[in-house]
Amino acid sequence: MAGGGSAPAMKMSDVFIVLGVTFLIGGLFMHGLVSPTSLDSDSEPYSNGASLLKGDSIEFTINIENQSALVLEVKDEDGTTVLVESHVLASGDEKVIPFEAEERGFYTYTVEFSEGSGELLVDVDRKLLLDFLIYPLGVICMLFGMAKRKDEQSKETIDAVLVSSD
């Protein structure tokens, strides 16, 4: 340390508590911070992907700002097109396009506006809920850390100064 002192070693209980809290907060960020993507006809087509198991689904929600024409295309790992939808929508419309995976693999999707603009929100729904495994893992780490801290405190020696009554 800068002052020449030394820092006490971090206890394992503190490590597990910090790890558990990190998992819980990370899970909230992972699931809570989903924001729509703005798209228009002047920009490049929006392309992304998701690894899906059989039965998992993706829901594309498109909010239209002004009269728009758009194309949504979903391809599997082999590059085979499994879904193509094109729509012409009026200003203020909202279109929800569902897609369910027939087999497991990595699916890429592309949304292109040929005219107009809008916002795209992609929601991936997992059949097995593996994404939510981080919450019980965080709780387990945090509870283990708290139990370990309680155990460490009960085994701590108590320093006492005995004063003679002379």
Residues counted in the chain: 166
Q: What is the pLDDT of residue 4?
A: 66
- Give percent above pLDDT 90 in the chain: 56
Helix-, strand-, coil-residue percentages of the chain, each rounded to 5: 30, 40, 30
Model pLDDT for residues 7-31, shown as the tens digit of each residue: 777 888 899 999 999 999 998 888 7
Q: What is the pLDDT of residues 142-152, one digit of tens each?
A: 999 999 998 88
| Nearest alpha carbon to residue 113 among 94, 131, 144, 89 | 89
69 token code pair: 């024409």
Average pLDDT of 121-128? 87
- Looking at residue 147, what is its pLDDT? 93
- In tens, the pLDDT along 64-111 reads 998 999 999 999 999 999 999 999 999 899 999 999 999 999 999 999
The CA distance from 74 to 81, in Å, is 6
Q: Which domains does the chain have, with CATH numbers?
A: 12-154 (2.60.120.380)
Burial 129-155 (b: 16+ CB within 10 A, else e): eeeeebeeebeebbebbeebbeeeeee
Cβ-based neighbour number of residue 96 at 10 Å: 10
β-strands 46-52, 105-125 pairing: antiparallel
